[in-house]
Amino acid sequence: MTQETTQAAGRPRNAEASDALKREALRLVREQGYGVSIAAIIKAAGVSRQTLYNRWSTKAELLLDALFELADMQVAIPDLSQPGPRRAVLTTYMREVFHHVRKDADLLRIFISQAQSDPAFRAVLYDRFVEPRDLIVVDVLRDAQARGEIAQDRDPALISAMIHGAFWYRLLLDLPLDDDFAAALVEDAFRGAA
Amino acid sequence: MTQETTQAAGRPRNAEASDALKREALRLVREQGYGVSIAAIIKAAGVSRQTLYNRWSTKAELLLDALFELADMQVAIPDLSQPGPRRAVLTTYMREVFHHVRKDADLLRIFISQAQSDPAFRAVLYDRFVEPRDLIVVDVLRDAQARGEIAQDRDPALISAMIHGAFWYRLLLDLPLDDDFAAALVEDAFRGAA
Amino acid sequence: MTQETTQAAGRPRNAEASDALKREALRLVREQGYGVSIAAIIKAAGVSRQTLYNRWSTKAELLLDALFELADMQVAIPDLSQPGPRRAVLTTYMREVFHHVRKDADLLRIFISQAQSDPAFRAVLYDRFVEPRDLIVVDVLRDAQARGEIAQDRDPALISAMIHGAFWYRLLLDLPLDDDFAAALVEDAFRGAA
Amino acid sequence: MTQETTQAAGRPRNAEASDALKREALRLVREQGYGVSIAAIIKAAGVSRQTLYNRWSTKAELLLDALFELADMQVAIPDLSQPGPRRAVLTTYMREVFHHVRKDADLLRIFISQAQSDPAFRAVLYDRFVEPRDLIVVDVLRDAQARGEIAQDRDPALISAMIHGAFWYRLLLDLPLDDDFAAALVEDAFRGAA
DNA sequence: AAGTAATCGAGACGGTACGTCTCGTCTTTAG
DNA sequence: CTAAAGACGAGACGTACCGTCTCGATTACTT
């Protein structure tokens, strides 16, 4: 017997309105920057002003939803059940992350920026973007440690912070995030290993 | 005959107006964030709107001037002519940096944030804040390398990026920047050394 | 065989909904003026928005129904079959009218006000409020003329307009509508009579 | 020595902006009714939204200024130093009043309407429109009384209220305000006189 | 008993207007 | 020429209503 979500009273929300808002918001911000007016977004989405405010209370929250739902931000989680050196696994993973981030570097910068003046936004960004990526890298590093690829006395969380930090540092300074940089980061993180 | 700056025609600029603007701008941004209106700043400074625009063309430029002139952001440059392990020198330096940053963490976050939507601002921030600090750390790391404290094949610039990146990462995520973290960063950067 | 309204198909209308709407609409307009939102009315009546629109197409129509059904606006028609001076009859009648109007002066002002921007509303207000009262006064004045209490060459319709006009004038200017004013009006209308 | 208004500090208000606002507001309300949006008025006047709000806080106040300044509402005050019957003087005056009112009957209706929900507006309307006209008629009636054209025991203020009331009554009911009605009103007011 | 149809509460929808806010420029008098 | 003051055009903001529409549920009459 399938569990079914109870239908709330009243006219149900139009899912297409939400989709159109996310789609157009993302498009307009990519084209014109974060400064696009809400009026422009709702006009492009063919939706009323209140409909937007029924769903999100700020432009930032709408964009956050849009980014993670529509933008191709999802990166395959490394499969640690496979054999082979974790150094290569992490290099591949970081290159893929960099690849996706390069596509929406402006948007990400805007989000990190926005998070600075909006604690709620920062929390969401942390939960949905920062922490998942941090945990993946920490997992790979722990596995590498268990396999003897990294010294036992090092702290995987610290290494992950340095890797992601360097990534943020270059992102926020608008410096290139290329494959070589990804590889160099991982090389240095695994240095001194067997 | 003494060389004298040529006196421009008309009423001379009031230096106190500039000082008041910088002082009040910094204070208000610390209290209320970057979003304070220009009207609030000129009102606090007791200055007319045009007077501000006569001197700076944006709020960001005013604040940059204010930051480097009024905020206590200067850290002593490590003296590499002295003997002793560079690991300790770097640890001391990073602790001092963290100490100063903690005092104005909000302000710094606001500046990094603002730099994301303002390339000119980012360039100035890079030239006057990021790069000088990066060069100091790179210099210390190079010296440590010359002294055999760090392996020859490592890239000081990359290590500096990881250290500063981890620092930014925690700053922007509002995670603590304490002495232990400063020490741990340097420890890991020097790990595996003789 | 009793005549019976044909029962329409479907669920019958809930009479209590209409009553609640009229009652609450009148109450809220008395308290807050004509500007009360429809949302406030339906909320107070515990009724859905569509239910109101099923019965009335504007707030004004709802209120007109409410006014004549619920507000105590009915005044006894003078009995001209009785002997005695018509001057006294009219004085009594006008005093009674003033008495009722004083109770709902705000409401009446609101209705006259609303009628100015709504011709349909004005027509209904005229048919159901203005004209009946005008006819009563004209009838009394004609009877007085027949009895020689008023000169034959005067126009009862004009006198009625002057009496009711003076009444409106004071009502709309928020000047007092007391018994003395009612008496003075009738005195002047009858002045110079035998 | 001519008294001169002290020039306030700052950029002076642009008188043309005020004029354009009054002119266009009056024109649009005459064309489309009181419901015209503020946006339409400022657009027609070529003026910013704030400029309107710098001068008036509501559409009604703007229109009140506009009406008495731009609309041809001024009626010549009867010259009581001239000889001749006051009955004729008052008839001429009332005909002229009716003539002017007919041109802006809609606007006047709107103002009386607006005054019902806005005590401040009502006060201004009373001071600038109602009372001056009332005083003129009372003056003429008193003079007529002194000349024996009207009985001594009648109350000029009451007669004025009946005349103006009948005028309002017909105005608000959208009944014709023609010359005959003006004459009939005055005739009845002077009835029974020598 | 099943089907049909209008009603009900709830609330989302597109749309319009509102009054406030901020921006950077402009226009005045005074120094 | 600069200062203080403040008006200006421009336009975004979030809120409030409007009258319509869309649900599931309810309540009668008609088969």
Contact, D54 CB vs strand E, < 7 Å = no
Residues in chain D within 8 Å Cβ distance of C168: 165, 168-169, 172
pLDDT of residue A4: 47
Are residues D87 and D186 in contact, defined by beta-carbon separation less than 8 angstroms?
yes
Nucleotide closest in space to A14 (CA vs C1'): E12
- Please state the domain extents for chain B: 15-70, 86-190
By Cβ distance, the residue of C34, C130, C163 closest to D117 is C34
Written as six digits, the tokens of B49 are: 């709107």
The whole-number Å distance from C2's CA to F29's C1' is 20
pLDDT of residue C21: 96
Answer whether D174 touches C (CB < 8 Å). yes
Say yes or no for a CB contact (<8 Å) between C113 and D117: yes
Answer whether C116 touches D (CB < 8 Å). yes
Answer whether A116 touches B (CB < 8 Å). yes
Question: Beta-carbon neighbour count of residue B194 at 10 Å?
Answer: 8
Say yes or no for a CB contact (<8 Å) between D155 and C185: no
Torsion of Cα atoms, B148 then B150 then B151 then B157, to 10°? -130
Let me know if domain A15-59 sits in CATH 1.10.10.60: yes
Nucleotide closest in space to B39 (CA vs C1'): E22
Say yes or no for a CB contact (<8 Å) between C192 and D151: yes
Q: How far does Cα D93 stand from its chain's mean position?
A: 14
Answer whether C152 touches D (CB < 8 Å). no
The set of long-range contacts for A40-43, using a CB threshold of 8 Å and a minimum separation of 24, is none
Written as six digits, the tokens of B193 are: 């050394």
Class of the domain covering C15-69: mainly alpha
Average pLDDT over residues D141-150: 95
pLDDT of residue B86: 94
pLDDT tens digit sequence for B147-194: 999 999 899 999 999 999 998 999 988 888 999 999 999 999 998 754
Distance CA B179, CA B20 (A): 35
Written as six digits, the tokens of A101 are: 């981030």
The CATH number given to D15-58 is: 1.10.10.60
Answer whether D192 touches C (CB < 8 Å). yes
Nucleotides of chain E within 7 Å of a protein C-beta? 4-31
Please give the CATH architecture assigned to the domain spanning B15-70.
Orthogonal Bundle (1.10)
pLDDT at A95 over 50: yes
Distance CA A139, CA A188 (A): 18
Average pLDDT over residues B128-154: 93
pLDDT tens digit sequence for A19-72: 999 999 999 988 888 889 999 999 999 999 999 999 999 888 898 888 888 766
| Tens-binned pLDDT, residue by residue, of chain C (194 aa) | 444 456 677 888 899 999 999 999 999 988 888 889 999 999 999 999 999 999 999 888 898 889 888 766 778 899 999 999 999 999 999 999 999 888 778 788 888 888 887 777 788 889 888 999 999 999 999 999 999 999 999 999 999 999 999 999 999 998 899 999 999 999 999 987 54
pLDDT at B107 over 70: yes
pLDDT tens digit sequence for D154-191: 999 999 999 999 999 999 998 999 999 999 999 999 98
Share of chain B above pLDDT 90, in %: 49
Answer whether B122 touches A (CB < 8 Å). yes
Nucleotide closest in space to B12 (CA vs C1'): F2
Residues 34-53 of C with CB under 7 A from strand E: 46-51
- Mean pLDDT, chain D, rounded, equals 88
Residues in chain A within 8 Å Cβ distance of B110: 116-117
Answer whether A122 touches B (CB < 8 Å). yes
pLDDT at A87 over 60: yes
- Mean pLDDT, chain B, rounded, equals 86
Distance CA D44, CA D38 (A): 10
Nucleotide closest in space to C58 (CA vs C1'): F19
Share of chain B above pLDDT 70, in %: 92
Residue type, A191: R
Listed residue (D6, D55, D35) closest to D20, CA to CA: D55
Which of residues C45 and A128 earns the better pLDDT score?
A: C45
pLDDT tens digit sequence for A150-193: 999 899 999 999 999 998 999 998 889 999 999 999 999 998 75
Nearest chain B Cα distance for residue A121, angstroms: 11
Query: Per the CATH hierarchy, to which homologous superfamily does domain D86-189 belong?
Result: Tetracycline Repressor, domain 2 (1.10.357.10)
Which of residues B47 and B70 earns the better pLDDT score?
A: B47
pLDDT tens digit sequence for D7-53: 678 889 999 999 999 999 999 988 888 889 999 999 999 999 999 99
By Cβ distance, the residue of B115, B158, B169 closest to A168 is B169
Listed residue (D178, D170, B123) closest to A175, CA to CA: B123
Distance CA D15, CA D24 (A): 14
Share of chain D above pLDDT 70, in %: 94
pLDDT of residue B69: 82
Q: Nearest 5°: CA angle at D120, between D119 and D121? A: 90
Say yes or no for a CB contact (<8 Å) between C166 and D166: yes
User: Band of the pLDDT at A127, cuts 50, 70, 90?
Assistant: confident
Size of interface C-D (CB pairs under 8 A): 104
Are residues A165 and B169 in contact, defined by beta-carbon separation less than 8 angstroms?
yes
By Cβ distance, the residue of C130, C155, C169 closest to D164 is C169
Residue type, D23: R
Question: If DSSP codes are grouped into helix, strand and coil, which group holds residue C4?
Answer: coil
Closest residue (CA) to C1' of nucleotide E16 is: D37
Are residues A96 and A140 in contact, defined by beta-carbon separation less than 8 angstroms?
no
The set of long-range contacts for C22-28, using a CB threshold of 8 Å and a minimum separation of 24, is C22/C62, C22/C65, C22/C66, C22/C69, C22/C70, C23/C66, C23/C70, C25/C59, C25/C62, C25/C63, C25/C66, C26/C63, C26/C66, C26/C67, C26/C70, C26/C71, C26/C107
Nearest chain A Cα distance for residue B5, angstroms: 39
Interface test with C, best of D108, D162, D163, D178 (most C CBs within 10 A): D162
pLDDT of residue D193: 57
Written as six digits, the tokens of C148 are: 């020689």
CA within 13 Å, CB half, A178: 3
Nearest chain C Cα distance for residue D147, angstroms: 18
A15-59 and A86-189 in the same fold: no
Nucleotides of chain F within 7 Å of a protein C-beta? 1-30
Residues in chain C within 8 Å Cβ distance of D163: 162
User: Band of the pLDDT at B10, cuts 50, 70, 90?
Assistant: low
pLDDT of residue A2: 41
Residue type, A55: R
Radius of gyration of chain D (CA): 20
Distance CA D55, CA D152 (A): 48
User: Band of the pLDDT at D6, cuts 50, 70, 90?
Assistant: low
pLDDT of residue A113: 83
- Mean pLDDT, chain A, rounded, equals 88
Q: Which 45-74 residues of chain D touch chain C by CB within 8 A?
A: none
Which of residues D16 and B69 earns the better pLDDT score?
A: D16
Let me know if domain C86-190 sits in CATH 1.10.10.10: no
